[in-house]
Amino acid sequence: MSEVQSSSHRRATPVQARSAATVETILAASSALLVDQGLPGFNTNAVAKAAGVNVATLYHYYPHKNAILRQLFERDEEARAAFIRLRLEDLKTTTDLAGWVHDIVVTLVRMRESQPAGAALRRACRAVPDLMEVEEGVNAELGGTLAEALRHRMPALTLARAAAAGRAMVEVTSTLLDFARDKPEAAKEMAEVLEDLIGGLFVQLAKTTSAP
């Protein structure tokens, strides 16, 4: 089997253990560098130095720094999206909505804590035109999935209202979790506020759909 396979955003995708380990080293170093230096100090030379590899090795897998940022972001977001998709199945039938919201928020806070570069990656996506579509795509997909779950729970909810509510929840959640990650001293209060906001929106949506 060939050592690498083509990828749309990377020059090569490793399939052998040694190559996979090199890529993981590059990604770990990239994450730490982004947190430490921010986007202005993030470039392929700095990544290669931090990872302990030569630039040629780095370019073997990533043609430019945006390809690294893209993979880091997509990997972090996929873990969050997979969890949310799983829990949205429970939203359709749960009788303990407050408990459901609490579990979602607590778990997402923990996930943010385990992804130190998450907030920096989202800032990078908003600052680099080539990456803006990545965050937009992730948020749109999650918002649409949430809208479907809302309409399953509240069939009278209009498509437009469900779509707006789903996207709003995704955007507000992402923003407040990033704030909590950057300001650990305010994390507990911010998580509680997020629970109140999401819970309050559910209440308002239910009132809207039950109004005569």
How much is the pTM? Answer: 0.78
- The token duo for 175 is 């923003």
CATH 1.10.10.60 for domain 4-63: yes
Which residues face 13 on adjacent strands?
Answer: 5
Report pLDDT for 4: 32
List per-residue pLDDT tens for the chain, 212 residues long. 333 333 346 555 555 777 889 999 999 999 999 999 988 999 999 999 999 999 999 999 999 999 999 999 888 888 888 898 889 888 888 999 999 999 999 999 888 888 878 888 888 888 888 788 888 888 999 999 999 999 999 999 999 999 999 999 999 998 888 888 788 888 889 999 999 999 999 999 998 876 55
148 Cβ neighbours under 8 A, 6+ residues apart? 88, 162, 166
pLDDT at 204: 93
Q: 2 in the Ramachandran plot: left (φ > 0), alpha (ψ -120 to 50) or beta?
A: beta
Return d(Cα 189, Cα 187) in angstroms, integer.
6
Domain ranges across the chain: 4-63, 71-210
Tell me the two tokens of residue 134: 């990545």
pLDDT at 186: 84
**CB-count burial class (<10 Å; 0-12, 13-18, 19+) for 47:** buried
- Predicted confidence at residue 200, as pLDDT, reads 94
**Residue that the structure tokens 């300001």 belong to:** 183
Residues in the chain: 212
CB within 8 Å of 54: residues ≥ 6 apart: 48
Judge contact between 167 and 201, C-beta under 8 A. Answer: no
Which of the listed CATH numbers 1.25.40, 1.10.357, 1.10.10, 1.20.120 matches domain 71-210? 1.10.357
Strand, helix or coil for residue 156: coil
Q: What are phi and psi of 102, to 5 degrees?
A: -60, -45
**pLDDT at residue 23, rounded to an integer:** 93
**What is the pLDDT at residue 78?**
85
Whether the CB-CB separation of 50 and 33 falls below 8 Å is answered with yes
- The pLDDT value given to residue 65: 94
91, 139 contact by CB (below 8 A): no
Q: Do domains 4-63 and 71-210 have the same CATH topology?
A: no
Q: List residues bridging with 14 in a β-sheet.
A: 4
Cβ(153)–Cβ(91) below 8 Å: yes
